[in-house]
Each structure stands twice: as structure tokens, then as C-alpha cells.
Amino acid sequence: MQMEVVVFVVMTLSFILAAMWLKWPIGVSLMAASVIGALVGGVGFPLRHLVEGTFAYLDPILIIATAMVFMEVLRRSGSLENLSRLILLKLHRYPLWLIVSITLFIMFPGMITGLSTATVLTTGAIVAPALIRLEIPRLKVAAMIAMSAIYGMIAPPINVPAMIIGGGVDMPYIGFDLPLIVATFPLAIVVNLALGYSHVRRANMERVLAALRKEDQQAGTVWLHFPLVLVILLLVGIRVFPGIFPNPGIPLIFLIGSGVGVFTGKKFRFFSVATDSLHQGLPVIGILLGIGMFIQIMTLTGVRGLLVMASLSLPSLWRYLGISTMMPLFGAISAYGSASVLGVPFLLAFLGKNEIIVGSALSLISGLGDLMPPTALAGIFAAQVVGEKNYFKVLKYTILPAVLTAVWGIGMIVFANALARIL
């Protein structure tokens, strides 16, 4: 047996045992597996490579940290709650547009943080009571929130799995916006319409509106939503008008929005909010540190090259089957880990196709890992938001959307070059 195979098996088993048996955090488990892999691979304790690996995803880490602060500022100021109320009040007569607007609203935090859990626990938690009032069954509400969270995590402008896959092949995170829109928005709208449209169309809107008017509400002023508008303008401006808008960097844009948010809406203590937000984001930051170290050791010991060669040698049919099954299953431990360990070699296996389209599709499929037990971060948190203790009751409503998502992703890979010409 090749030494690289032994190292890969040892690293994978070490990671699984540490994460699932010892119950260590995912990031720490990845780091421990990296150290064990280096020892087994005969390179000792390569301190320089271990440290260098932890800095591989510094940019996504800074984006996640500052975006988490910004989302919490929007929540504490009352901006998100007010937007949810406005959507219901303005679109209650139009069920189709109501579902579409709620879908985009739920996805928003994931779009700017790259985290499905941030989506579930912010906008997902805010709209869940409203969706239940619209007579959508609780389990379907949880499925809508979970799927929207995953699509939001993959949608532009921030897609951490795509950043990880691109970083593994030295491909900059540029030009992904349109492919990621194609990968996520149609799926999100179709899935949520299938789950909720028929219920909303039959709902008693007068009762819903009466309940909304009874609740304590804050006046919906332009000033209340100014931080959100400012951040969107800056994020769009640096992409559409790079010569006019100076690019301060995405982390600084989120910090600017957070600073402005202190002076709008409800009052709160900024440093307390920032501390709480960073505390919530630490597990994901730890995962990115661990993934960077894990990939660095895989590269050093030759395991990464072995995975690339194995992916290249697979027949096309088995390659597509592997993508649609192995990536979501490995993502049960970490969608980011799936993107790094499997996404990078699979991208290299399709070098004849447009890399940006393929990378976007692979990131979409890796995101399904957040539905897979035992971790199932998006699914389990969505179940908790609607008060359901048994996640498997929610899982049955996400199976068909997950299959549709995998098929959509595979289709993007198959027709990557044609799609690239259109986009």
C-alpha cells in the first residue's frame, strides 16, 4: 500500500474519532489529525507548515468575524425585525411574491457571512413565527429555513466553500457572482414555493395582520435601515464601479456598517454585541484554521496529489456519482472540510471545463453537508427554531430539495462551458 494512502486513512480516521468519539471541536479535530498525519508521513512535527496552514484562510476568517458583528448589530437595532414586518404588511395580498421576498430575506445573512447557522439564528428565527401564522406546518417551516440557510451560505457575495476550493488551486475569488446566483436563487425560490405557496395562498391574512398590528413595533424609517443600505451599496459598488468606489476590503465595509448601526434604531452596547458575535463565530473560525492546517499537511505528505490523481482516473459517471454522494456525506462533519478535502481534487479533475462554474457547483453540493446527520447544523438549528426536538421529522421534507440541489449542481458541471459562454 502506498504511504500516501496510509497517511490519508490515518488522518481521516483520526479526524472522525476526535470529532465524533472524543467530541472535540471540529477545528481542533482537524488540527490533531494534521499533526498525526505529519508524524505518520515521516515529516516529524513541521511547525512552520502547521503555522502557515492556519493562515491559509485569513481573508475568509476576517470576513466571517466582521460580518457576524454586522448581522448582530442589525438584529439588535431592530432593522431585521422591521424588514420582516414590512414584507408581510406590503406583500400579504401576493402569495408568490411574499414567498420570494421571505426567501431572499432569510438567505441574506448567509450571503454576507458565508454561514448557514448565522442565517437560521437571525432571519430564520425572526420569520419562523410569521411563517407559522401563515398556516405553513412547523416542519415545513423548518425545512424552508434550513434550505434557505444553505442556499444563502452559497449565494454571493461571500461563499466560503468556493473560497476554500479556489484557494486550493490558486484561483482568486473573482467572477463567481453570476454563477453563484444561477446556482442558488432559482433553487431557493422553487423549493420554498413548493413547500409553502399552497399554504400561504389559503391562509387567513386578516388574522395574520391583526396579530402583527398588536405587536410592539418600531417605526420603519430610512435611518433604521441605513447601515444595511450602506453596506449593500459599498459591496455592489466595488464590483460594478471599481474605478469610482475605492475598495477598502470587505471586512472594513462590514465594520463601517456596524459602526453606523450603533447610532440607528434601538440602543445597545457595541462592544458587548461584538464580543457575543465573535464568540458565536469562533467554532467556524476554528474550522477554517484547522482546514488550512489539514490541507497543508496533505500537500506536504503527498496525500493531496494522490487524491487529485485518483479523481482524474475515475470514469466520468463515477466521478459525478462521487461528487453527489461523497461531498454531502463528508460535509456532515464539515461542509468546509468537504470543500477542501474533496472539492479541490474534484475541481482539478474537471480542468477541461470552466473552473469558476465547476467551483460554484461543487460549493453548492458541499453545502448539503449542513443537512446531514449527525451534525446537520442548518437542519438541527432550524428544527429548534420552530420548537421541534426530533430533527429527522424535518429531514424528510429536505430530502427531495437536497436531491434536486445535487442534480442542479451536477448539471452545472456537465454544461459548465456552455453556461460560461452565456454568463
pLDDT given at position 356 = 95
Kindly indicate the confidence band of residue 215, based on its pLDDT and cuts at 50, 70 and 90.
Answer: low
pLDDT given at position 186 = 97
12 pLDDT above the threshold of 60: yes
Kindly indicate the confidence band of residue 292, based on its pLDDT and cuts at 50, 70 and 90.
Answer: confident
pLDDT given at position 196 = 92
pLDDT given at position 250 = 83
Kindly indicate the confidence band of residue 355, based on its pLDDT and cuts at 50, 70 and 90.
Answer: very high
The count of other CB atoms within 10 Å of the CB of residue 310 is 15
More confident residue, 93 or 184: 184
- Do the beta carbons of residue 269 and residue 5 sit within 8 Å? no
- Do the beta carbons of residue 82 and residue 225 sit within 8 Å? yes
- Do the beta carbons of residue 79 and residue 265 sit within 8 Å? yes
Cβ neighbours of residue 406 under 8 Å, at least 6 residues apart? 324, 328, 365, 368
pLDDT given at position 406 = 96
Integer Cα distance of 320 and 324 in angstroms: 6
On average, the pLDDT of the chain sits at: 87
120 pLDDT above the threshold of 70: yes
Percent of the chain topping pLDDT 90:
38
Integer Cα distance of 183 and 195 in angstroms: 19
pLDDT digits (tens, 9 = 90+) for 19-66: 888 888 888 998 999 999 999 999 999 999 999 999 887 888 888 888
| CA nearest to 9, candidates 351, 354, 341, 389 | 341
- The answer to whether the Cα torsion of 98, 103, 104, 105 is positive or negative is positive
112 pLDDT above the threshold of 70: yes
Kindly indicate the confidence band of residue 245, based on its pLDDT and cuts at 50, 70 and 90.
Answer: confident
- The answer to whether the Cα torsion of 191, 194, 195, 196 is positive or negative is positive
- Least confident interval from 309-318, 323-332, 347-356, 401-410: 309-318
- Do the beta carbons of residue 88 and residue 215 sit within 8 Å? no
Q: What is the mean pLDDT of residues 298-325?
A: 83
pLDDT digits (tens, 9 = 90+) for 221-230: 678 889 988 9
pLDDT given at position 322 = 86
pLDDT given at position 60 = 82
Integer Cα distance of 391 and 229 in angstroms: 36
Kindly indicate the confidence band of residue 211, based on its pLDDT and cuts at 50, 70 and 90.
Answer: low
Backbone angles phi, psi at 262, to 5 degrees: -60, -30
Cβ neighbours of residue 178 under 8 Å, at least 6 residues apart? 423
Integer Cα distance of 250 and 157 in angstroms: 10
418 pLDDT above the threshold of 60: yes
| CA nearest to 63, candidates 332, 315, 257, 350 | 257
Instruction: Spell out the SS3 assignment of the chain.
Output: CCHHHHHHHHHHHHHHHHHHHCCCCHHHHHHHHHHHHHHHCCCCCCHHHHHHHHCCCHHHHHHHHHHHHHHHHHHHHCHHHHHHHHHHHHHCCCHHHHHHHHHHHHHHHHHHHCCHHHHHHHHHHHHHHHHHHCCCCHHHHHHHHHHHHHHHHHCCCCCHHHHHHHHHCCCCCCCCHHHHHHHHHHHHHHHHHHHHHHHHHHCCHHHHHHHHHHCCCCCCCCCCCHHHHHHHHHHHHHHHCCCCCCCCCHHHHHHHHHHHHCCCCCCCCHHHHHHHHHHHHHHHHHHHHHHHHHHHHHHHHCHHHHHHHHHHHCCHHHHHHHHHHHHHHHCCCCHHHHHHHHHHHHHHCCCCCCHHHHHHHHHHHHHHHHHCCCCCHHHHHHHHHCCCCCHHHHHHHHHHHHHHHHHHHHHHHHCHHHHHHHC
